Structure 1
Amino acid sequence: MALFEGRLPVTANVLAHHHAARCAACRTLLVTLAHGDALPSELAPGALAPLEGGRRCARRSSVQGATWTPPEVLDGFRLERLLGRGGMGAVYLARDASVDRRVALKVCVALQPDAGTLASFATEARAISRIQHPNVVTMYRAGEVDGRPYLVYEYVDGKSLAELRPPLPWQRVLDIAVGLAAGLRAAHQGGVLHRDLKPGNAILSPDGTVKLIDFGLATFVGGAGTAPRGVREVVGTPRYMAPEVRMGESATPRSDLHALGLLLFELCTGRLPPARRGACAALLTERLPGIDPGFAAVIACCLAEDPLERFAQADVLCAVLEHVRRLVAFQRTSSVFPTSWTGPGFRQVSSPPPLF
């Protein structure tokens, strides 16, 4: 439990994961704990702050009572109600008086913000400012009040994916997958790794558009597509970490795609895949007999244990998902108009759309 309570130094943390890679019993225990199945209620995944530098702190209920309460009007924004609270800040529905529109205002509520919290807000502002895409929430402004940073985002009147009740129809999950992959593609093209993709960090608007949110644990990549050399942070939510990240390796675009695969598998089935994920496509087909086999194969590819066996880049994943969606739509159309029949009242159906 010292590993998950944040009492191990970074070096010991990495050694523990390396030992688990060789010891079947410890690996099973570690995966069980990472999935949150055996954690005490006060240390369940939702009650834990994200890992940073290999350390984790429980969010005790008493801490929330000691947080700073922002005024009703903060730097020109009138706060209407609390939308959510995390380990480092709170998000309020607010009204921007200058343009008369509703916004989501994320503000640091620590009584004495530490360097890590301030750095997280600064990183999130830098990361989100690099991305302009319909599937990523838009940031309008960054500011500071009394030494506490705040970020102003577009307000999306929807539900986070964590508020949905899986399993969902796989066709709906396919649409969500296309949007999330497009958002990740935009982030990666901007040199940003999300590093904490999970249902709570994606929001679904009433029109069906899904948007990535919360880039507080993001990091930046260079032209090589990997995190800076020498940076071995175990950062993120254990339940949605790629295996290599749990082992102390640097995050890469492929680790973001692995988290996406976990999220999609969970939305389709209502649970995360088993620790050994070699047969995820077959497992999806078994649990969801009607699922498109191409979509099941895409999820399985994202979930490959070996990062080199996953999609290399988000743009490749986007192209494949779009092709699967076109093919699904084509098959739905062709089932109405049989291709083997001709004559009055029937039309000839063309071949399936190409991949590119």
Structure 2
Amino acid sequence: MVALVEERLDSGARGRVHRHAAECPACRELLVAVMRSQSCPGPLDAPLPPCGPAAARTWTPPGVLDEFHLVRLLGRGGMGAVYLAHDTSLDRLVALKLSVALEPDTSTLDSFAIEARAIARIKHPNVVTVFRAGQVEGRPYLVYEYVDGKSLAELALPLPWRYALDIALGLARGLRAAHQRGVLHRDVKPGNAILDADGSIKLLDFGLAAFVGTDRSKPWAVPGVVGTPRYMAPEVRLGAPATPQSDLYALGLLVYELCTGRVPHVRASGADRVAAALVPLVDLVPGVDLDFAEAVERCLEEDPSARFGRVDALCTALERLGARGQDAGFAPVRSAAIAETRP
């Protein structure tokens, strides 16, 4: 199944995968998710969006939605488009996300509702703020704070590991705030994190989030294969429920990519397992702090129980490293420093 994601199977092997999936519910669900992702743009870097003929046709929004005047398109994703807009009631710039499918399907409508509820639960400087939700011509839209910056997917990699540490700490804090409010993100990746002009980092796009109880004495597990295949935890790829540890895996993979400019290739390991061919950070990043490397690689353990039990523990480890760096005279990341890494 993993080789199928990487498009490394010949026709005979693909046939065997399909025959196995016909008899295995977990693999069948994953196969459907993979096929959906491969039939839309960005097979490994995009979440699993609705596909088909209707997905190719788009609706053009009016220039004015309630008190919001659209200024320009900022970007498109699997679930809709994001525009820079002017909020005339408060005279400020905002980001407005709306569905642009001619006939939005149920999953798209659900995604907007989930995202609005998820972000409304979380109030944290490392999570983008949602201002309001509305509808135009039967299509949902969400209004967020406008972050004037770059997504991590737009940065020239690799970054110096100290900058990656600062980013990792901000994202870990944002993810901790989400988990504390009973929200699993389920799609942590560079494209869903944005670096503000002042150097602060924000987690965004909770359209695939899942809600769980905030009682930490009970296990958190949300069934369903969703997310971006490239950043899925090994157990989720195999159909296991999403957990806080699968969010941690994705965060660790993101930070590993920031430091090295690469994502480890997922490989098959035995009949029913997957594993990442992980090259240690110390072999790829000269001078990297050994404790930082250990924290990142712990997030990437194949066995979820070997990862940090909670994001709180990762935050504590990164905060200790950050404080140690400040004592040594290292300045925190700033936009100018990030700009220096671009060609």
Note the alpha carbon deviations across 1:53-74, whole angstroms, 9 max, x for none: xxx65588x954x211000101
- Aligned counterpart, 1:14: 26
Q: Secondary structure at the match of 2:223?
A: coil
Shift of residue 279 of structure 1? 6.3
| Structure 2 CA distance for partners of 1:11 and 1:236, relative to 1, 3 Å | farther
Name whichever of 8-17 and 248-257 sits farther off: 8-17
Deviations 1:268-287 (A, max 9, x none): 0000135455865xx21111
Residue 36 of structure 2 is aligned to residue 45 of structure 1: no
Specify the SS of the correspondent of 2:98: strand
Letter in 2 for 1:45: L
User: Highest relative contact order (Cα 8 Å, sep 6+), 1 or 2?
Assistant: 2
What's the CA shift for 1:288?
1.2
Letter matched to residue 158 of structure 2? P
- Any conservation in 2 of the 1:59–1:87 contact (CA below 8 Å)? no
Q: Distance in 1 between matches of 2:29 and 2:307?
A: 22
| Matches of 2:43 and 2:265, distance apart in 1 | 19
Change beyond 3 A, Cα 1:274–1:293: farther
The 5 Å alignment of 1:54-133 reads: 63-64=55-56, 66-133=57-124
Contact 2:220 2:244 in 1 (8 A): no
- Which letter maps to 2:285? L
The one of 187, 192, 195 equivalent to 1:196 is: 187
Mapped to 2, the partners of 1:10 and 1:235 lie a distance apart of 19
What percentage of residue pairs aligned between the two structures are identical? Answer: 58
Cα separation, partners in 2 of 1:142 and 1:16, compared to 1, 3 Å: closer
Larger Rg: 1
Q: Aligned residue for 2:126?
A: 135
**Structure 2 residue 290 is matched with structure 1 residue 297:** no
Could you tell me how far 1:330 is from its partner in structure 2? 2.9
1:258 Cα deviation after fit = 0.4
* CA drift at 1:207: 0.7
| Rounded Cα–Cα distance in structure 2 between residues aligned with 1:260 and 1:318 | 12
Kindly provide the amino acid, as one letter, of the partner of residue 70 in structure 1. Answer: P
Q: TM-score, structure 1 length as denominator?
A: 0.78
Answer whether contact 1:82 1:90 (CA < 8 A) is retained: yes
In structure 2, relative to structure 1, the CA distance for the partners of 1:130 and 1:207 (3 Å cut) is same
Could you tell me how far 1:232 is from its partner in structure 2?
2.5
Taking a change above 3 Å as real, the CA distance of residues 10 and 101 of structure 1, as seen in their structure-2 partners, is farther
**Separation of aligned partners in 1, 2:163 and 2:44:** 26
Q: Name the residue aligned to 2:314.
A: 317
SS at match of 1:172: helix
- Provide the C-alpha distance between the structure 1 equivalents of 2:291 and 2:188, rounded to a whole number of angstroms: 23
Task: Provide the secondary structure at the position in 2 that maps to 1:321.
Answer: helix
Contact 2:39–2:51 under 8 Å retained in 1: no
Supply the distance in 1 between the matched residues of 2:316 and 2:78 (Cα, whole angstroms).
36
Measured at CA, do residues 41 and 118 of structure 1 come closer, stay the same or move farther in structure 2, by a change above 3 Å?
closer
Contact 2:40/2:51 (<8 A) preserved: no
TM-score, with structure 2 as normaliser? 0.80
Which amino acid is the alignment partner of residue 288 of structure 2?
A: I
Measured on the aligned residues, the alpha-carbon RMSD in Å equals 3.1
Q: Where does the alignment leave 5 or more consecutive residues of structure 1 unmatched?
A: 21-32, 334-356
Matching residue within 313, 326, 329 for 1:329: 326
Residues in 1 aligned to 2:283 and 2:4: alpha-carbon distance in whole angstroms: 35
